[in-house]
Amino acid sequence: MSVLLSGLVGVLVAYVLIYYSLFKGARFKSNVSLKGKTAIVTGSNTGIGKTTASDLAKRGARVILACRNKQKAEAAVYDIRKESGNPEVLYMHLDLASLESVRDFADTFLKSEPRLDLLINNAVCEAFSLGLIASGRTEDGFGMAFGVNHLGHFLLTLLLLERLKQAEHSRVVNVSALLHRLGSLDFNLLNTQKDLVTGQSSWHAFRAYCHSKLCNVLFTRELANRLEGTSVTCYCLHPGVISTEIGRNMNVLHKLLFLPMSKLFFLDPEGGAQTTLYCALQEGLEPLSGRYFSSCALQNVSTQGRDDALAKKLWEASERLCGLS
């Protein structure tokens, strides 16, 4: 392992030890019913997305699993229906690495579903695991982290916004990460390279992930500004470091070394879904639209994450890149 990756491992270990010794995963406790309501959860065939979808189904919601992998999604539908006793759990194909797929999904949903109460933008490009992070390009040529984590969800949200506004009270929940604090935006690079990093190394991919998570925070902030006075509110969150996701791409040796620490300090998918559920269901959050949460509580974001001018600039750039302006 290189010095750089060893340093990254050290940073992540320190983060886990310090952060989770102070903020143990909180639990969202509410008996709120979702009978008659419809929710979309992206990336819900595994991990916290699946756990979130299952919880919503247990509350009586009609839940759409918006996923790329049909086989895994259909297996998740079966599991959730069986666990929840709710037959109103469906799969619809969505590949966030393709803007055409996003448009197809929105078109199918709008033609077949009369209402939308919750849009949970949960999916991420392959979760990073100690330096092993997804890189490459989307179908439209964007950097994978930027294209999937931000741009695909940005377009999806805008295409479904009118349906959300038709509900009496609806919410958009964007899953970000604490690592947004390490993110920054270079619009010159985005305009010329369709990405926020210049290379494809593990370090560049890690940086791209951090930048994309900052995009989630800024998107939520600007979306809240534009939704002011409507029935729709929005929130972003850090779910915690999830043991099943952060180790997905490790080799056998790394997993053997990593497993004891992950069991001690990292959250399982149920724990990781709690803040998502809090943002989706907690009563009285409307005055905090646009804000950032972690461990089922309001948290501060980075200085850049509070920059309204930067948020507006990202929105305008995203509209242009999606062909909306």
pLDDT of residue 325: 81
Whole-model pTM: value is 0.87
Q: What b/e readout covers 184-207, taking b as 16+ CB neighbours within 10 angstroms? A: ebeeeebeeebbbbeeeebbbbbb
pLDDT at 125: 74
* Residue 5 maps to a domain: no
Q: What is the pLDDT of residue 132?
A: 42
Sorted by sequence, the CB contacts under 8 Å of residue 255 that are 6+ apart come out as 247
How high is the pLDDT of residue 130?
A: 37
To which H or E segment does residue 38 belong?
strand 38-42
249-302 pLDDT per residue, tens = 555 555 555 555 555 556 777 888 999 999 999 999 999 999 999 999 999 999
Rounded to a whole number, what is the distance in angstroms from the first to the last CA of the chain? 45
Separation between Cα atoms, residue 12 and residue 121, nearest integer Å: 25
Q: What is the structure's pLDDT at 131?
A: 39
261 CB neighbour count, 10 Å cutoff: 14
Cα–chain-centroid distance for residue 290?
Answer: 15
CA distance 315 to 319: 6
Which position has the token pair 């189904």? 57
CA distance 216 to 149: 8
Query: What token pair was written down for 133?
Result: 């992070």
pLDDT of residue 128: 45
**Does 269 reside within a domain?**
yes
Question: Residue type for 45, please?
Answer: N
CA distance 28 to 103: 33
Closest to 58 in 3D by CA, of 92, 87, 29 = 87
Interval 225-245: pLDDT, tens: 999 999 999 999 999 876 554
Torsion sign, CA atoms 30, 33, 37, 42 = positive
Tokens of 293: 């949460």
Q: Would the pLDDT of 247 be above 60? A: no
CATH number at residue 276: 3.40.50.720
Q: Is residue 299 part of a domain?
A: yes
Domain that holds residue 81: 28-321
The answer to whether residue 93 sits within a structural domain is yes
The pLDDT value recorded for residue 81 is 98
- Asked whether residue 3 is domain-assigned, the answer is no
Tokens 């895994």 label which residue?
72
User: What's the confidence (pLDDT) of residue 129?
Assistant: 39
Looking at the chain, the number of H-run helices and the number of E-run strands are: 13, 8
Bigger pLDDT: 195 vs 27: 195
* Residues classed as catalytic: 209
- Note the pLDDT tens digit of each residue in 129-186: 333 455 689 999 999 999 999 999 999 999 999 999 999 999 999 999 999 999 999 9
Exposed, middle or buried: residue 131 (CB in 10 Å: 0-12, 13-18, 19+)? buried
Instruction: Give the per-residue pLDDT at 127.
Output: 42
Does residue 76 sit within a domain? yes
Is residue 289, in this structure, part of any structural domain at all? Answer: yes
Output the average pLDDT for the chain: 88
Give the residue-averaged pLDDT of 73-81: 98
Q: Do 138 and 98 contact (CB within 8 A), yes or no?
A: yes
Count how many domains the chain has: 1
Domain-located, residue 11: no
Task: Indicate the residue type of 274.
Answer: Q
- Model pLDDT, residue 202: 85
Mean pLDDT value across residues 48-74: 97
Q: What are phi and psi of 236, to 5 degrees?
A: -125, 165
106-133 per-position pLDDT tens digit: 999 999 999 999 999 999 875 443 334 5
Q: Which two tokens stand for residue 201?
A: 């190394």
